[in-house]
Amino acid sequence: MTTRRKFLKGAAIAGPATLAGPSILHAQEPIRWRFQTYAGSALGEEVTKPAIDAINEAAQGELEIELFYADQIVPTGELFQALQRGTIDGVHSDDDSMASPTPVRSFGGYFPLATKHALDVPVLFNQYGLADIWREEYAKVGVHWLSAAGQDPCNFNTVKPIKSLADMDGLKLYTFPTAGRFLSQFGVVPVNIPYEDAEVAVQTGELDGMAWSGITEDYTVGWADVTNYFCTNNISGAWIGSFFVNAEKWAELPDHLKQIVNSAVEASHTYRNQWYWGGEARLRASGEKLELTSVPQDEWKVVEEAAVKFWDEMAEEGETAAKIVQIFRDYNDVISKAGPPYTFG
């Protein structure tokens, strides 16, 4: 089984030996970065900390990154501004949550029904051209985009069960901006609050639940302790999240340290993918806190049809948006023809 310890050990060994190049005496002060993740501390231990620890280990004191969790320096919705102006040096988040001013904003996080599985995300970025678009758009606004990866699907964990679309009407759900915009047509009331406040908000009745993650995250961060049901229908098969660095700080970084950062981030994608994939299966099969429910597939087709119209609307927002939507269309056409396991049959 791959653990954080094994991941870090492997990354640390690979870093100095294969990336750092000639031995360097550390007489000068280390480069210090402050890095904030979208995730609270419990989740951040799994989704962001492995990458940061691996970088620090492999950099051997030349680069020291201090990790901060959700809202510890700035609210998640201000992450981009803080990164751009240098208040923080690096970010792990999705474009939507951090209020990116770029045309890619709405497509980060959970763009409705654009993906089926976590592996769709690296394919879309590395084989279908999304990486080039993200890199180019962030370069325009003083941010260096490092890499994107998929994580868990966007399901619903709620106090009351969701067994039909009618059950969604009036639900106050903590969710992403674009996902909330899409779900509002089904009566969902999107609520935007700090990440770490969501659990208490369910207890006080401010929230009826979340449309934020898969079941692994629900158990990890404590949301399974305050909600009762998990709806297996999802509005997207994988979260699209990225690592970012302030462009000036990245330009100042020596090449061998850039290689260490890039390699550790890419390795962390692999760790997160297996952590989520295994967790989703295990907790659906044997988790005891949340009762699983589903909306019948013939009824859920209404949501799928609404997503097609939503894509059309988003494509009208500009040239870049239209290009991204077309990439999603092209890829989904391919996997539809390929059939299972790329689709659900």
Residue 244 lies in a domain: yes
Decide if pLDDT at 13 tops 50. no
Spatial separation of the C-alpha atoms in residues 137 and 93, rounded to whole Å:
16
Decide if pLDDT at 18 tops 60. no
Residues 38 and 114 in one domain: yes
pLDDT for 320:
98
Binned at pLDDT 50, 70 and 90, residue 324 comes out as: very high
What DSSP character marks residue 30? P
pLDDT for 22:
45
Residues 60 and 167 in one domain: no
Residue 76 lies in a domain: yes
Residue 344 lies in a domain: no
Structural domain range at position 247: 4-152+239-281
pLDDT for 344:
85
pLDDT for 7:
58
Task: Pull the structure tokens for residue 104.
Answer: 């890619």
pTM above 0.85, yes or no: yes
Spatial separation of the C-alpha atoms in residues 59 and 30, rounded to whole Å:
10
| Residues 89-101, mean pLDDT to the nearest whole number | 97
Residues 265 and 200 in one domain: no
Residues 246 and 216 in one domain: no
Helices (H), the chain: 4-18, 41-47, 49-59, 79-85, 120-126, 130-139, 177-183, 198-204, 215-221, 247-252, 255-286, 297-315, 319-338
Residue 117 lies in a domain: yes
Residue 246 lies in a domain: yes
Please name the amino acid found at residue 107. Answer: F
Contact between residue 215 and residue 286 where contact means Cβ atoms under 8 Å apart: no
Compute how many other C-beta atoms are within 10 angstroms of the C-beta atom of residue 177: 18
Spatial separation of the C-alpha atoms in residues 268 and 152, rounded to whole Å:
15
Residues 23 and 46 in one domain: yes
DSSP bridge pairs for 91: 36, 244
What DSSP character marks residue 112? T
| Residues 169-188, mean pLDDT to the nearest whole number | 97
Residues 46 and 96 in one domain: yes
Q: State the virtual CA torsion across 244, 247, 253, 257 in degrees, nearest 10.
A: 20
pLDDT for 21:
45
Residues 22 and 67 in one domain: yes
Residue 289 lies in a domain: yes
Residues 99 and 36 in one domain: yes
Residue 343 lies in a domain: no
Residues 103 and 161 in one domain: no
Scan for tokens 């999304």, then name that residue.
130
Domain with 198 in it: what CATH number?
3.40.190.170
What are 209-246's pLDDT values in tens digits?
999 999 999 999 999 999 999 999 999 999 999 999 99
What are 96-112's pLDDT values in tens digits?
999 999 999 999 999 99
Spatial separation of the C-alpha atoms in residues 260 and 60, rounded to whole Å:
11
Binned at pLDDT 50, 70 and 90, residue 27 comes out as: low
Give, for 175, the enclosing helix (H) or strand (E): strand 172-175
Residue 211 lies in a domain: yes
Contact between residue 232 and residue 292 where contact means Cβ atoms under 8 Å apart: yes
Residues 179 and 116 in one domain: no
Q: What is the mean pLDDT of the chain?
A: 93
Give, for 246, the enclosing helix (H) or strand (E): strand 240-246
Number of structural domains found in the chain: 2
Dump the DSSP string for 253-295.
Answer: S-HHHHHHHHHHHHHHHHHHHHHHHHHHHHHHHH-SSSEEE--
Spatial separation of the C-alpha atoms in residues 340 and 337, rounded to whole Å:
9
Spatial separation of the C-alpha atoms in residues 75 and 70, rounded to whole Å:
7
Residues 246 and 231 in one domain: no
Residues 57 and 167 in one domain: no
